[in-house]
Amino acid sequence: MNFEPAAVARDTASIAASLSALEWITDSRVERLSQDFYWFSPILKRQLEGLRADAVVRPKTEDEIRTVVSACAQRRVPITVRGSGTGNYGQCMPLHGGVILDLSAYKQLLWVRPGVGRAQAGIRMMEMDKQIQQGIKGPDGRPCGGWELRCVPSTFRSATLGGLYGGGFGGVGSINHGPLAATGNVLGVRAMSIEPEPKVVELRAPEALLLHHVYGTNGLVLELEVGLAPAHAWLEAIVCFDRFDAALEFGDALAASPGLVKKSVTVLAAPIPDLLLLAVPVLAGSMTRGSHAVFVLVAEFSEPGFLQTVAQFGGTVSYRRTAAEVQASNRTIVEYTWNHTTLHALKVDKGLTYIQSGFQAGQHVQQAKAMRKLLGDEVLVHLEFIRTKEGAMNCSGLQLVRYTSDERLNQVMQIHREHGVYIANPHVYIVEDGKQGQVNPDVVATKLRFDPLGLLNPGKLRGWEQRERIMADAAAARVSLSTLPRF
Amino acid sequence: MNFEPAAVARDTASIAASLSALEWITDSRVERLSQDFYWFSPILKRQLEGLRADAVVRPKTEDEIRTVVSACAQRRVPITVRGSGTGNYGQCMPLHGGVILDLSAYKQLLWVRPGVGRAQAGIRMMEMDKQIQQGIKGPDGRPCGGWELRCVPSTFRSATLGGLYGGGFGGVGSINHGPLAATGNVLGVRAMSIEPEPKVVELRAPEALLLHHVYGTNGLVLELEVGLAPAHAWLEAIVCFDRFDAALEFGDALAASPGLVKKSVTVLAAPIPDLLLLAVPVLAGSMTRGSHAVFVLVAEFSEPGFLQTVAQFGGTVSYRRTAAEVQASNRTIVEYTWNHTTLHALKVDKGLTYIQSGFQAGQHVQQAKAMRKLLGDEVLVHLEFIRTKEGAMNCSGLQLVRYTSDERLNQVMQIHREHGVYIANPHVYIVEDGKQGQVNPDVVATKLRFDPLGLLNPGKLRGWEQRERIMADAAAARVSLSTLPRF
């Protein structure tokens, strides 16, 4: 389907006018609300700069959402579903204008029971954790505290649960529970189809996962039911090392240590700690200049064993805050990890960009050492320890790269691939290009079911254009939705 | 030192007479209280049959313990420290008579705070978990519920915490937190020396671990401070499979799955389920005859993902009890796992014995398949999934063996070793013989410190007889207590 920009703009304006009871944004704020952190990539910066929707709508109820969706479907107006736009690599920018469906006002925590919570997609994750801690009542009417989200991004303050589901992979906490896609982390979603008469259905896992990590291109997620983890008082610490290998080995041992309860282990090779010190003045004194740093969130009751492990690997604890101190200060080192590291580093060194990578569990320490040796000062090593979907300890890289040219950047990624390191390329905006060219045929089938008109941010899912061939191939290979268990 | 039986008996009687305020047992019950499950091994049955102490004393306070210890040290009377004697392979039977120091009346839960609890060594583990659940007050005066022990044996009903520490390796819960020896699981112990004037000191980890798993031969543990785990409502289930490989692969996937919260995964190859059905009439209908069974404790909130995994591997849930049903019935399938499996099987087939083994993490599934293929019907495969001390998923074997001769039993163990499977030989009673002939020199150094007269069940620690050579070698290798961090 072709989308003629002027027609889309006219139809969008007309929808906004006809649904004036809803909250619409049509002024200069639309530009900002159309963007995300696409500028982390020099390539996407060139490709996506200037993209903007024609209007932003911020519904507060499912009825309001249904009204907008129906109107857009009737007029064939593209819809880009957004949380807070912290999804950090150009994956939720509207390629063909139309309406941005901003879900950040659709944000109720619906219920919490031991180990599981359910909320509307637009809830901010910090807010969800706060409400859970306050002991919101469960379906049985009893308050249920002592839990928290199993996995949050470093942007948990502003990022929404639906945004994490649509654009995220894992995060802080994945060191215990693996990525979002691991069985048990997401129990179900309520999804709406993009049609003149939108249908709403509950999808349970594993089917629910077909709407995960495709950036809202194959269905509209209204509610999520997610696994929760026991909430502990998290001690925050930074451990400095003279040698990178010691920092890495310490991080790996701590991450894997089954008797030590932790939430996060981040390894930042020199000179990343120096960049952070430069970018974040409040970190002054928290790290030794020139050192390799490991950022840690560990349960307060595990501190003795944590210190024992620090001593074993010859590290120095250069920063330590109790959970109470963290809460009182409203500052957490989580906001210097994951893509916040990237953000801060890019603030002070405009010549940097980054890549996203996944090592092979079991060989990850060896691979990380080898890649650092091979790529020297060009690639600044940033590793986050997480469990794989199958449960093995591993690390993900969000390496900073000194950018020289697109060609060299692609070479750096190719060198990783050639050494068995998986690359989730953050310099492309087509879904498949970020996933080694592949898309699960069931993802396309799901789009056929939930977005038969192809209105969800058109142009992002290449498989949609090839849907007839993909469906035929899948049928031939007997891979189809019907083979999935249904609940 | 030689212990002349008649002199030991006389001295013991004299101590009992002089300390008549304490609870002494000197009648026929002494024989039963001198035994453990040594008869699981046909070899130990012959070697240890008839061993008995001269008297059992059951002190209630540290003062009473001190009085007994002092008297025994003055008269050089052997002391065998015991919990409930469920330590199941002849490791706490008094080799030279004397006094059995039964700590089961020294059983106070001292305090609980989030993630950590401290108790006297004689507390029964079920009682400890119950008191924690009831929300005993922590050191800050606030009640602290929602926790449980990280690891319990299948004998948790009667077994004591000190007994687990002295004779146990891991247990139900080690699938999450690894063995007791993993950093963070034991934070400290209060230990008494065996001297005319007993000294009492607090040892923190890692030093505290030197008194672990040497069957009370190198010091007297009075109190233990241990890590706790969040208590969940555990669903109990049995899953049946037609094929062993499917059962094993299911067990492995479930054990490792990071988003599914579980406490225990036990794989019982056919015909073990049939033996259990025969031995435990109440299990009638809980398993399909002839099948391979996997016994599972999984958090109730993880049931959907658990069922998804069952379906994926083609299993059938043949038994399911909610936590409330388990509590109401006072029956748990835990009591058919670990060495309870052995116990029940031996009840109905006197020709069986067993071995204890540890696979190589990562190769454990492959190794378990290969060994089963190799040893056929002679070895009945029973596997318990646990994390290693370093945190990798693995399994331990408590295989049942059709006993023909000592020679063949030793061959079966040797075949395992030759295939890279570690054997913890349960058919020997010398500490080192169960640990591939090795003992940590620091264990011997600890005995020098806490039992300088060599009175703790003499004859069990070969390293004690060779202490001069071992200490000299250790000094030469610069391996000594002084290299351990102290807190």
DSSP state of B207: G
Cα dihedral A217, A220, A222, A224 sign: negative
CB A149 within 8 A of CB A229: yes
CB B262 within 8 A of CB B298: yes
- What's residue A141's pLDDT? 59
Closest alpha carbon to A386 in A245, A176, A228: A176
Q: Is the pLDDT of residue A256 over 60?
A: yes
| Half-sphere exposure (Cβ direction) of B300: Cα atoms closer than 13 Å | 12
Q: Give me B55's structure tokens.
A: 């008297």
* Inter-chain Cβ pairs, chain A and chain B, closer than 8 A: 128
- What's residue B144's pLDDT? 57
Chain B's closest residue to A301, CA to CA, is B115
* CA A484/CA A441 separation, integer angstroms: 12
* CA A372/CA A400 separation, integer angstroms: 12
**Band of pLDDT at residue B486, cut at 50, 70 and 90:** very low
**Nearest-CB residue to A308 (from B205, B232, B259):** B205
Closest alpha carbon to A79 in A44, A105, A103, A47: A103
Is the preceding peptide bond at A206 cis, omega within 30 degrees of 0? yes
- What's residue A477's pLDDT? 80
State the amino acid at position A261 in one-letter form.
V
State the amino acid at position A46 in one-letter form.
R
Q: B115–A305: do the CB atoms touch at under 8 Å?
A: no
DSSP state of B189: E
Predicted confidence (pLDDT) per residue in B238-255, tens digit: 999 999 999 999 999 999
Predicted confidence (pLDDT) per residue in B341-355, tens digit: 999 999 999 999 999
- What's residue B473's pLDDT? 87
Please, is A351 exposed, middle or buried when counting C-beta atoms within 10 Å of its C-beta (0-12, 13-18, 19+)? exposed
- Mean predicted confidence (pLDDT) in A265-279: 98
Q: Give me B275's structure tokens.
A: 């033996």
Distance from CA of B30 to the nearest CA of A (A): 38
Q: Is the pLDDT of residue A281 over 70?
A: yes
Q: How many CB atoms lie within 10 A of CB B59?
A: 21
Predicted confidence (pLDDT) per residue in B262-309, tens digit: 999 999 999 999 999 999 999 999 999 999 999 999 999 999 999 999
ipTM value: 0.94
Q: Which residues contact A391 (CB under 8 A, 6 or more apart)?
A: A178, A182, B255, B256, B257, B258, B393
Q: Is the pLDDT of residue A72 over 70?
A: yes
B52 CA to centre of own chain: 22
- What's residue B296's pLDDT? 98
Q: Give me A23's structure tokens.
A: 């909250």
**Band of pLDDT at residue A407, cut at 50, 70 and 90:** very high
* CA B8/CA B15 separation, integer angstroms: 10
- Mean predicted confidence (pLDDT) in A260-269: 98
Closest alpha carbon to B337 in B403, B263, B391: B263
Residue B203 pairs in a beta bridge with B189
State the amino acid at position B333 in one-letter form.
I
Predicted confidence (pLDDT) per residue in B1-56, tens digit: 689 999 999 999 999 999 999 999 999 999 999 999 999 999 999 999 999 999 99
Is the preceding peptide bond at B196 cis, omega within 30 degrees of 0? no
**Nearest-CB residue to A178 (from B150, B258, B309):** B258
Find the angle CA(A175)-CA(A226)-CA(A334) to the nearest 5 degrees.
40
DSSP state of B383: E
Closest alpha carbon to A122 in A206, A178, A64: A64
Q: State the average pLDDT for chain A.
A: 94
Q: Is the pLDDT of residue A481 over 60?
A: no
- What's residue A133's pLDDT? 83
- What's residue A483's pLDDT? 45
Taking the CA atoms of residue B363, residue B365, residue B369 and residue B371 in that order, the dihedral angle to the nearest 10 degrees is 50
- Cα B157 to Cα A320, B129, B130: the distances in Å are 41, 10, 11
Residue B23 pairs in a beta bridge with none
- What's residue B480's pLDDT? 46
- What's residue B241's pLDDT? 98
Residues of chain A with pLDDT > 70, as a percent, come to 95
* CA B281/CA B266 separation, integer angstroms: 20
Contacts of A387 in chain B (CB under 8 A): 258
Contacts of B308 in chain A (CB under 8 A): 183, 205-206, 485
Q: Is the pLDDT of residue A484 over 60?
A: no
Residues of chain B with pLDDT > 90, as a percent, come to 89
Chain A's closest residue to B387, CA to CA, is A258
Predicted confidence (pLDDT) per residue in A317-331, tens digit: 999 999 999 999 999
* CA B308/CA A206 separation, integer angstroms: 8
Q: Which of A347-351, B140-144, B398-402, B433-437 has the lowest mean pLDDT?
A: B140-144
- Mean predicted confidence (pLDDT) in A412-428: 96
Q: A304–B113: do the CB atoms touch at under 8 Å?
A: no
HEC per residue, chain A: CCCCHHHHHHHHHHHHHHCCCCCEECCCHHHHHHCCHHHHCHHHHHHHCCCCCCEEECCCCHHHHHHHHHHHHHHCCCEEEECCCCCCCCCCCCCCCCEEEECCCCCCEEEEECCEEEEECCCEHHHHHHHHHCCCECCCCCECCCEEECCECCCCCCCEHHHHHHHCCCCECHHHHCCCCCCCCEEEEEEECCCCCCCEEEEECCHHHHHCCCCCCCCEEEEEEEEEEECCCEEEEEEEECCHHHHHHHHHHHHHCCCCCEEEEEEECCCHHHHHHHHCHHHCCCCCCCCEEEEEEEEHHHHHHHHHHHHHCCCEEEEEECHHHHHHHCCCHHHHCHHHHHHHHHHHCCCEEECCEECCCCCHHHHHHHHHHHHHHHEECEEEEEECCCCCEEEEECCEEECCCHHHHHHHHHHHHHCCCEECCCCCCCHHHHHCCCCCHHHHHHHHHHCCCCCECCCCCHHHHCHHHHHHHHHHCCCCHHHCCCC
Q: Is the pLDDT of residue B142 over 60?
A: no
Distance from CA of A21 to the nearest CA of B (A): 40
- Cα B416 to Cα B252, B352, B376, B421: the distances in Å are 20, 18, 13, 5
- Mean predicted confidence (pLDDT) in A6-19: 98
Contacts of A361 in chain B (CB under 8 A): none
**Nearest-CB residue to B183 (from A150, A309, A391):** A309
B4 CA to centre of own chain: 31
**Band of pLDDT at residue A163, cut at 50, 70 and 90:** very high
Q: How many CB atoms lie within 10 A of CB A50?
A: 9
* DSSP letter string, B417-476: HHTT-EE--TT--SGGGGGTT---HHHHHHHHHH-TT--BSTTS-HHHHTHHHHHHHHHH
Q: Phi, psi (5° rounding) for residue B34?
A: -90, -10
Q: Which of A83-87, A350-354, B288-292 has the lowest mean pLDDT?
A: A83-87
Contacts of A300 in chain B (CB under 8 A): 114-115
Q: A177–B253: do the CB atoms touch at under 8 Å?
A: no
- What's residue B485's pLDDT? 40
Please, is A289 exposed, middle or buried when counting C-beta atoms within 10 Å of its C-beta (0-12, 13-18, 19+)? exposed
Distance from CA of B257 to the nearest CA of A (A): 5
Q: Give me A255's structure tokens.
A: 């991450």
Predicted confidence (pLDDT) per residue in A294-345, tens digit: 999 999 999 999 999 999 999 999 999 999 999 999 999 999 999 999 999 9
**Nearest-CB residue to B115 (from A205, A253, A261):** A261
- What's residue B481's pLDDT? 46
**Nearest-CB residue to A259 (from B183, B301, B485):** B183
Look up the pTM and report it: 0.95
Distance from CA of A308 to the nearest CA of B (A): 8
**Band of pLDDT at residue B484, cut at 50, 70 and 90:** very low
**Band of pLDDT at residue B145, cut at 50, 70 and 90:** low
- Mean predicted confidence (pLDDT) in A80-90: 86
CB A201 within 8 A of CB A458: no
- Mean predicted confidence (pLDDT) in A52-71: 98
CB B155 within 8 A of CB B86: yes
Q: A183–B305: do the CB atoms touch at under 8 Å?
A: yes
Closest alpha carbon to A170 in A209, A123, A213: A213
